[in-house]
Amino acid sequence: MLPEGLVAAAGLAAGQLDAIDALTATCNAHDGGQLRLNRDNLATRPTDTVNDFLYYADGKLVGFLPIFIFDPKVAEASGMVDPAYRRQGIFTQLDQAARTHARERGAARYLYMVERGSDSGKGYVTAAGAIAQHSEYAMMLAAPQPVQVRHSSMQLRRATADDAAAMTRILAGAFTEDEEHPERFAQAMANHPSHHWYVASDDGDILGVLNVQSFNGEAGIYGFAVAPDSQGKGYGRQILGQTIATILAEEPRRITLEVATENANALGL
């Protein structure tokens, strides 16, 4: 028997994941949006830590808000409510519970992820006092281009735990963030075997990193970064081209990449 009201979950069962998929489809059909939750990440949530907040009514899931804490200082939140159950305070309950929990875990900042076309989402975060930080384009690969090999000595390979220190250093430098402990990547690679981290190296020096996640016929490229002193030399184009070729060789699928709207170099790439 399903519960009623708000549920804070540590780990998600198969039935909950299916209900989240159905709710996502309902909301996207109603709103004309493209809300995409990282289902693979949701399926491998730790069972000793609360990350997901669900709301049940009339015997079904009608609201869902997950938080993602990749950086211990920042909690990222994205949620939804069944159109038939909106304007009843459900999202407010989910959000307040998630924000309280994030603060208790030491996250000083709370980042809402809202689709541009979601009027209800934008209205909520505006009323909550949120300030726009940045926007991203969801880039969809239309037609693969031939790989341009400018650096014949560059190699692209799967990352291992031994690469964690170099990966954190590159990401911190590329995204101007505080450098975190390398154990983060070692743990992430161990906990998410379907998240394929890659590193690029030239003459033994690691200079690029990215993460490929696949689900439902779509492959997403995340955390794509080139060390600042190696940027502008053609490494990014070659890394991206070889990654696309690798993905398509394993299984033809749609490939996406999210890019900050103000990142002119990344958009050009």
Domain that holds residue 226: 139-268
**129/168 same-domain check:** no
Judgement on whether residues 202 and 97 belong to the same structural domain of the protein: no
Instruction: Give the residue from 106, 133, 160 where a domain finishes.
Output: 133
Residue with the two structure tokens 């990142």: 263
Residue 146 sits in the same domain as residue 122: no
- Using the 3D structure, point to which of 81, 107, 133 is the last residue of a domain: 133
Are 127 and 167 within one domain?
A: no
Dist CA 238 CA 36 (whole Å): 28
Q: What pLDDT was estimated at residue 128?
A: 85
Same domain, 66 and 165: no
Among 133, 158, 179, the domain boundary falls at 133
Residue 207: which CATH number? 3.40.630.30
Check residue 86 and give its pLDDT: 93
Q: Encoding tokens for residue 81?
A: 């409510």
pLDDT at position 89 is 94
Q: Please give the pLDDT value at position 138.
A: 80
| Number of neighbouring beta carbons within 10 Å of residue 91 | 21
- What is the number of structural domains in the chain? 2
| CA 3/CA 89 separation, integer angstroms | 18
Taken as a whole, the chain contains a residue count of 269
**Shared domain check, 103 and 175:** no
User: Looking at the structure, do residues 114 and 192 belong to the same domain, yes or no?
Assistant: no
Alpha-carbon span 17 to 91, nearest angstrom? 19
Q: Is 62 helix (H, G, I), strand (E, B) or coil?
A: strand
Residues 258 and 172 occupy one common structural domain:
yes
30 plus 81 within the same structural domain: yes
Q: Write out the chain's pLDDT in tens, 269 residues.
A: 788 999 999 999 999 999 999 999 999 888 887 777 777 778 888 899 999 999 999 999 999 999 988 777 888 999 999 999 999 999 999 999 999 999 999 998 898 888 877 778 888 888 888 888 878 888 888 888 888 888 999 999 998 888 888 888 888 877 765 555 556 656 666 666 667 889 999 988 999 999 888 877 788 898 899 998 998 899 999 999 999 999 888 887 888 888 877 777 777 77
Q: Are residues 202 and 261 in the same domain?
A: yes
Residues with Cβ within 8 Å of 119's Cβ and at least 6 positions away in sequence, in order, are none
3-state DSSP call for residue 50?
A: coil
Residues 201 and 150 reside in one and the same domain: yes
Query: What is the Cα Rg of the chain in Å?
Result: 20
β-pair type (74-77, 60-71): antiparallel
Q: What pTM was estimated for this model as a whole?
A: 0.72
Q: Is 5 within 8 Å of 59 (Cβ atoms)? A: no
User: Bridge-partner residues for 74, per DSSP?
Assistant: 71, 109
| Per-residue pLDDT at 183 | 64
Instruction: In whole angstroms, give the CA distance from residue 82 to residue 63.
Output: 6
Asked if 92 and 165 sit in the same domain, the reply is: no
